[in-house]
Amino acid sequence: MAETLPLEQLENKVDSLYEAIVIIARRARQINELQKRLIDKETEANASDNDLDEVLLDSDYLDRQYLKLPKPTTLALQEMLDDRLNFEYIGKNK
């Protein structure tokens, strides 16, 4: 079951809730790209070791493996809440 997140926690991290959503979405895209690279790397390693038929059979295994990875949005949100997500405003004077 999904846990409800108090919006005040996000608003304390940035100026507005909209900014928090944009920052989390951008980080989630980065994490998703990293996960895709990991899957591609695994596929290439299997392709070099095995013939094509075995790689196609292993693709089911990789699909299941990918499904076990944590969701990028969840990881990005947790990074924001744990103050592990660094961001800066471009063109904004401080």
Per-residue pLDDT for the chain (94 aa), expressed as one digit of tens each?
677 887 888 888 888 899 999 999 999 999 999 988 887 787 676 665 555 556 555 666 666 666 678 899 999 999 999 999 888 878 766 5
Q: What was the pLDDT predicted at 10? A: 87
| Listed residue (29, 31, 35, 19) closest to 87, CA to CA | 19
SS (H, E, C) the chain: CCCCCCHHHHHCCCCCHHHHHHHHHHHHHHHHHHHHHHHHHHHHHHHHHCCHHHHHHHHHHHHHHHHHCCCHHHHHHHHHHCCCCCCCCCCCCC
pLDDT of residue 33: 94
Asked if residues 85 and 23 have their Cβ atoms less than 8 Å apart, the reply is yes
Prediction pTM value:
0.72
